[in-house]
């Protein structure tokens, strides 16, 4: 009988009362491996109430004690990250080495949060006015919500919750229904690390759970990563309810390959960035823009590397695993059909892949399309699968215009040996994260992750100092201790002197 994946409250399992569930599958076999609970409104409110009840005590816990818990969590996660990687592979499908890389990048944010005492230091001005001191502090918001996507069930939540917890907030994490088990594993690890009851909670569910998080007045902020239409909805609904919202949306990431680029390096990068994790990354390169006469050679080099990839079960010796669900696999395949019908050349066809995995697995191999034009749906839409489109332009300016007129602005890259061209590109391109000969420019934890345009709704990017500012609010204090010389009645507006 399939196991049920429940909620987490007060450092223990909370079954809820709805009784509704959704299937969780192993994408490499197509088999149902469990059922995830789908919260009712009452279940969601119970989890939120628990986070709210725990907030005052955690807010008042000293920075020294908070940091000690963070360090404990870091040590436990580093020692046991292999366990988490295997859980991710079993429900997402990505190969174990890729899952381990995801956990390691999340671990960097935990390490960043361990330094929170330094990041929470305020300012102090003595004698700003006569015998009056002015100083500032940063304080936590309260219970905060994190709504995370299926493609990074560990790393994306870890962009947010280490900083939220370190700064004194309590957390309600709503993971994807497609791969929910990683969230419970992380919750259990927090308990082992000594985090008090109610500080880290997990709410399983669908839109019912999301809507309650967006509108419940006890939730003070919402952090979201997902598609642009849902990011718009989350931002509009959450802000209308008076919350802080950071909603990271979709992407259509371009890589510009200039004529002077090392084509072997560029081809390696296009394969790695286009097909890693079956293209189910918001930082995946899905559009390779070949400038000038290099397109034929570049396409040939990419095709040569692509055809040698091993596609199969992520627990085996595979380079790329399946897609997360059958519905998503079929949707991605339909874009290949549409691109071919629109006149793109299918150089490598993933629809006919022979994978080393279950016959019912959700398989789609790496696909390379050439002669793609900006009006094709394979270019205009975020496909979120292993489909790399090659667009041909004559000049740098045409490549730049292609990127800057695209509605998305998450990540981009340029491949060149010309420092002047690279410096011009980083200045002129309207995208939030830029790589120079780096195909997936995900910043380190002490910088902030986030895009521009339709790739971000809200003012704050994830982690880094922007993350610290998002999960805290400033308070300015003006102080004067009792001094008889300042007594008396004066109804005028206070003046400094």
pLDDT per residue as tens digits for the range 392-448: 999 999 999 999 999 999 999 999 999 999 999 999 999 999 999 999 999 999 999
What percentage of the chain has pLDDT greater than the value 70? 98
- Residues 110 and 241 placed together within one structural domain of the fold: yes
Pull the structure tokens for residue 334: 């339909």
Task: Determine how β-strand 244-248 pairs with β-strand 221-225.
Answer: parallel
pLDDT of residue 147 exceeding 70, the answer is yes
Among the listed residues 261, 282, 368, 414, the single catalytic one is: 282
- Residues 177 and 43 placed together within one structural domain of the fold: yes
Pull the structure tokens for residue 181: 């088990």
Say if 487 falls within a structural domain: no
Residue 113: HSE in the Cβ half-sphere, 13 Å Cα cutoff: 31
- Residues 227 and 274 placed together within one structural domain of the fold: no
CB atoms within 10 A of CB 288: 31
Residue 45: HSE in the Cβ half-sphere, 13 Å Cα cutoff: 8
Say if 410 falls within a structural domain: yes
* Contact (CB, 8 A) for 296 and 333: no
Pull the structure tokens for residue 263: 């084509």
CB atoms within 10 A of CB 168: 23
Nearest alpha-carbon partner for 132 in 476, 477, 495, 480: 480
pLDDT of residue 228 exceeding 60, the answer is yes
Say if 482 falls within a structural domain: no
Which residues, 6 or more positions from 323, have their beta carbon under 8 angstroms from its beta carbon? Answer: 27, 93, 278, 280, 329, 332, 362, 363, 364, 385, 386
Note the pLDDT of residue 492: 82
What mean pLDDT comes out for the span 16-25? 97
Say if 154 falls within a structural domain: yes
d(CA 387, CA 302): 12
pLDDT of residue 51 exceeding 70, the answer is yes
For residue 278, list its beta bridge partners: none
Give the phi and the psi of residue 29 in degrees, each rounded to 5. Answer: -120, -20
pLDDT of residue 197 exceeding 90, the answer is yes
Note the pLDDT of residue 482: 77
Q: What is the DSSP string of 256-280?
A: EE-TTS-HHHHHHHHHHHHHGGGG-
Q: How confident is the model at residue 318 (pLDDT cuts 50, 70, 90)?
A: very high
What mean pLDDT comes out for the span 246-272? 98
* Contact (CB, 8 A) for 88 and 154: yes
d(CA 68, CA 192): 13
Query: Which of 1-5, 71-75, 267-271 has the lowest average pLDDT?
Result: 1-5
d(CA 157, CA 88): 13
- Residues 234 and 272 placed together within one structural domain of the fold: no
Say if 67 falls within a structural domain: yes
Query: Which of 143-152, 457-466, 486-495 has the lowest average pLDDT?
Result: 486-495
pLDDT of residue 44 exceeding 90, the answer is yes
d(CA 138, CA 68): 20
d(CA 433, CA 422): 14
- The enclosing domain of 190 has a CATH number of 3.40.605.10
pLDDT of residue 94 exceeding 60, the answer is yes
pLDDT of residue 205 exceeding 80, the answer is yes
- Residues 154 and 275 placed together within one structural domain of the fold: no
Structure-token match 């079956």, residue found: 278
Q: How confident is the model at residue 495 (pLDDT cuts 50, 70, 90)?
A: confident
Which residues, 6 or more positions from 165, have their beta carbon under 8 angstroms from its beta carbon? Answer: 58, 66, 69, 70, 113, 171, 195, 199, 200
d(CA 479, CA 429): 47
Pull the structure tokens for residue 185: 């594993």
Helix axes 155-166, 96-113, angle to 10 degrees: 10
Q: Is 114 among the catalytic positions?
A: no
pLDDT of residue 140 exceeding 60, the answer is yes
- Residues 178 and 206 placed together within one structural domain of the fold: yes
Q: Would the pTM of this model clear 0.75, i.e. be above it?
A: yes
Note the pLDDT of residue 483: 67
Q: How many domains does the chain have?
A: 2
d(CA 32, CA 183): 19
Q: How confident is the model at residue 494 (pLDDT cuts 50, 70, 90)?
A: confident
Say if 15 falls within a structural domain: yes
- Residues 33 and 158 placed together within one structural domain of the fold: yes
Q: What is the mean pLDDT of the chain?
A: 96
- The enclosing domain of 289 has a CATH number of 3.40.309.10
Note the pLDDT of residue 157: 98
- Residues 19 and 119 placed together within one structural domain of the fold: yes
d(CA 245, CA 210): 13
Q: Which domain holds residue 275?
A: 253-436
What mean pLDDT comes out for the span 450-470? 96
pLDDT of residue 487 exceeding 80, the answer is no
Pull the structure tokens for residue 163: 């900083």
Pull the structure tokens for residue 41: 């409104």
Say if 488 falls within a structural domain: no
Note the pLDDT of residue 401: 98
Pull the structure tokens for residue 367: 């696909």
For residue 172, list its beta bridge partners: 145, 201
pLDDT per residue as tens digits for the range 22-43: 999 999 999 999 999 999 999 9
CB atoms within 10 A of CB 72: 16
pLDDT of residue 2 exceeding 60, the answer is no
Pull the structure tokens for residue 121: 């230091």
């Amino acid at each position: 009988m399939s196991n049920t994946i429940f909620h987490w409250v007060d450092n223990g399992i909370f079954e809820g009362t709805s009784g509704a569930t959704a299937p969780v599958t192993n994408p490499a076999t197509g088999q149902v491996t469990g059922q995830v609970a789908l919260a009712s409104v009452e279940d969601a409110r119970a989890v939120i109430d628990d986070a709210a009840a725990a907030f005052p005590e955690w807010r008042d816990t000293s920075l020294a004690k908070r940091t000690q818990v963070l360090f404990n969590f870091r040590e436990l996660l580093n020692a046991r990250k292999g366990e988490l990687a295997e859980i991710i592979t079993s429900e997402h499908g990505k190969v174990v080495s890729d899952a381990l890389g995801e956990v390691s990048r999340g671990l960097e944010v935990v390490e960043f949060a361990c330094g929170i005492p330094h990041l929470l230091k305020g300012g102090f001005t003595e004698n700003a006015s006569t015998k009056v001191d002015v100083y500032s502090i940063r304080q936590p918001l309260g219970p905060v919500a994190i709504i995370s996507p299926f493609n990074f069930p560990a790393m994306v939540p870890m962009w947010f919750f280490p900083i939220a917890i370190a700064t004194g907030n309590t957390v309600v994490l709503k993971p994807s229904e497609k791969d929910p088990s990683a969230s419970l594993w992380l919750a259990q690890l927090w308990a082992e690390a000594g985090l008090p009851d109610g500080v880290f909670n997990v709410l399983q569910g669908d839109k019912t759970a999301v809507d309650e998080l967006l509108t419940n007045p006890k939730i003070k902020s919402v952090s979201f990563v997902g598609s642009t239409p849902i990011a718009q909805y989350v931002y509009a609904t959450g802000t209308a309810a008076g919350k802080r919202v950071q909603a990271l949306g979709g992407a259509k990431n371009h890589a510009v390959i200039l004529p002077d680029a090392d084509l072997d390096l560029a081809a390696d990068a296009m394969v790695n960035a286009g097909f890693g994790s079956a293209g189910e990354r918001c930082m995946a390169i899905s559009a390779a823009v070949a400038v000038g006469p290099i397109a034929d050679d570049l396409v040939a080099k990419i095709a040569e590397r692509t055809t040698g990839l091993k596609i199969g079960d992520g627990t085996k010796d595979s380079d790329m695993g399946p897609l997360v669900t059958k519905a998503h696999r079929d949707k991605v395949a339909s874009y290949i059909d549409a691109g071919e019908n629109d006149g793109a050349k299918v150089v490598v066809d993933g629809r006919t892949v022979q994978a080393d995995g279950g016959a019912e697995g959700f398989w789609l191999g790496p696909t390379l399309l050439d002669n793609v034009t900006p009006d094709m749906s394979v270019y205009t839409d975020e496909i979120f699968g292993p489909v790399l489109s090659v667009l041909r332009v004559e000049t740098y300016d045409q490549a730049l215009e292609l990127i800057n007129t695209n509605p998305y602005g998450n990540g981009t890259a340029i491949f060149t040996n010309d420092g002047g061209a690279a410096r011009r590109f980083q200045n002129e391109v309207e995208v939030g994260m830029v790589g120079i000969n780096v195909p997936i420019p995900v910043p380190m934890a002490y910088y902030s992750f986030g895009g521009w345009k339709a790739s971000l709704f809200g003012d704050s990017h994830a982690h880094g100092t922007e993350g610290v500012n998002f999960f805290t609010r400033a308070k300015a204090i003006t102080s004067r201790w009792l001094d008889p010389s300042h007594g008396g009645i004066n109804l005028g507006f206070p003046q400094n002197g």
